[in-house]
Copies of this chain bind each other. A is one copy, B any other.
Amino acid sequence: MSDKIVGILGGRGGQLGRMLAASASLLNVKVVVLDSGDYAPAKQVVASTSKELAHIDGSFSDPAKIRELAEKVDVLTVEIEHVDAAALEEIRVASEGKNFAIHPSPSTIQIIQDKYRQKQHLASHDLPVSEFVAVESSVESIATVAKNLGLPLMLKSRTLAYDGRGNFVLRELGQAQDAITALGNRPLYAEKWVPFLKEIAVMVVRTADGQVQSYPPVETVHKNNICHLVFSPLRSRDASLSARVRSVAENAIKTFTGAGIFGVEMFLMDDGNIFINEIAPRPHNSGHHTIEACETSQFENHLRAILSLPLGSTTMKVPSTVMLNLIGHSSSMAEITNTVNVALTTPGASVHLYGKSECRKGRKMGHITIVADSDAQLRSRLRPLLESLPSSSSEEIEKYASASREPGFSDPTPLVGVIMGSDSDLPVMLPAARILDRFKIPYELTIVSAHRTPDRLVEYARSASSRGLRAIIAGAGGAAHLPGMVAAMTALPVIGVPVKGSTLDGVDSLHSIVQMPRGIPVATVAINNGMNAGLLAVRILSAGIPTLIDVMDEYMKSMENEVLGKVEKLKEVGWEKY
């Protein structure tokens, strides 16, 4: 625990300070907020408990107000990086030797608030960034850079940029003057165009002495340059991706000074390469889901870090989560209210409204976090929310919250993979698919032949877990190698279905599948019993979806009743006429 008083340099949105303050109250940590107005979002959720600790009405860029705040508190932190870093540095120097700290350090804020310096800093530490170069605010300078880096070219303001403001995509040289005007004649730099596959972010918390700990990576989706959706965990065919992006993010944050949480935004390229896009030295929109979905929220971990308390676990406590930002559509709250009302009828959805005094187009008014027992459940829960947004296109809804699979086609977010060595195995494997349909388990069904498509086998097995599968059903006949070879290349449970061939009555398949050597198990079911493979998959999934136990109990009860019905019939009709 800590008796230190925390000062929050707040402003712009105010929601980060609000969530930080709410987190502080859980630990009885006293908070003083500097922000404009008496009813700023953070001030609403933390009433001053004394005159001395009254909140301050003012701007994060006013040195006098910053000093006033610093005098009241033991630790100063920021919810926005566009603060007066020079003033912070002066305060830091003046307080040296006193029991007072600023987190993250003013020098970290200084580096990060100038995006060009930020890129230089990252590049100088051999961290992966795309090509970038300084550029003058002149048509000639832009033309020279465009010649080197190519078109389209990303022109960015070095400072005071957020939510895409301060970015200009130069598609042809003739737009150079437009760009200069749009970016307000501020200092610029240029980045080589990055045709990324996905945007990824990692929240990293750093202690004052440089220990770092990262949250599981997330996929972020932007819309009109504003964060729109954040999915976690990150799914990928590349089983090593999560570890790689965590490592890049952690290494990046190690190069800075001061304590706190950082958001690291990255681009994933087609070839698997990663580039760091931008770093935020504060709680970040791509970490809001941590409140409901992780063992410790980003806000609490920021507090712990700046108060020199032990860091909290960053592990996810739910299987799947998504965050949806509630962005003002106009000056009316009507659209926000409409989506919130949908959220109130959505299981697993938590509403966070920010108490902002008025709605504006493009303003972050709140967010909704959904948790679910699987990606499939998550996306079915997300769908009505996306449908409620006036800005949602049907393509977007299909992409991020596709409706359940059409019969006969694979689900986009499967929990079970049903594979077979040959299309001739399909009649045996279809009953497995029908069982999964009946239990509403999302699955994919395809052909993977151990002997005829060995590369496909390797890719399928190696990527199964990182794509989100939790079990695989593999059917094969004869020298039935598929189930065992898949099991050798995944840590998931593999169910083997021996398919009866034209000779040996399936005993060849059975023995090929069941008699695995020590170390690699295959869960073998009876010969040709695809149905039992489906039922076994449902039972296996119940280890992560406990409600399936009740559903399976009901299924077993219905089987019992069916047989008891036959008992009755046999009694009534007599066995000779039966």
Contacts and interface: CB of A to CB of B under 8 A. Distances in A.
Interface of A: 1, 22, 25-28, 39, 43-49, 292, 295-296, 304, 309-310, 312-313, 315, 317-319, 337, 340-341, 344-345, 347-348, 350-353, 355, 366, 371, 431, 465, 470-471, 488, 491-495, 510, 514-527, 529, 531-533, 535-536, 539-550, 552-553, 556, 559
B26 A351 contact: yes
B45 A25 contact: yes
Contacts of A344: 1, 304, 309-310, 312
Nearest to A510: B514
Contacts of A350: 26, 296
A472 to B, nearest CB: 10
Contact of A1 (B337, B495, B553): B337
A477 to B, nearest CB: 16
A493 B543 contact: yes
A39 to B, nearest CB: 5
Contacts of A49: 39, 44, 355
B519 A353 contact: no
A139 to B, nearest CB: 48
8 contacts: A1-B341, A22-B45, A39-B47, A44-B49, A295-B347, A491-B556, A514-B514, A519-B556
Contacts of A48: 47
B526 A525 contact: no
Contacts of A521: 525, 529, 532-533, 535-536, 539
Contact of A514 (B295, B309, B465, B524): B524
Q: Which of A27, A350, A471, A521 has the most CB of B within 10 A?
A: A521
B491 A539 contact: yes
Contact of A520 (B318, B319, B532): B532
A553 B242 CA distance: 15
A505 B29 CA distance: 69
Given A26-B352, A46-B47, A348-B295, A515 B526 contact: yes
A113 to B, nearest CB: 30
Nearest to A524: B524
Shortest Cβ-Cβ A-B pairs, 4 listed: A523-B523, A491-B552, A521-B532, A313-B347
A27 B465 CA distance: 37
Nearest to A342: B310
B536 A493 contact: yes
Nearest to A45: B25
Nearest to A528: B518
Given A317-B371, A524-B524, A543-B471, A345 B310 contact: yes
Nearest to A558: B519
Contacts of A295: 347-348, 371
A523 B524 contact: yes
Contacts of A542: 470, 491-493, 543
Contact of A529 (B518, B536, B549): B518
Contacts of A540: 493, 540, 543
A347 B493 contact: no
A1, A350, A522: residue with the most chain B Cβ atoms closer than 10 Å: A1
A318 B315 contact: no
A519 B431 CA distance: 11
A422 to B, nearest CB: 22
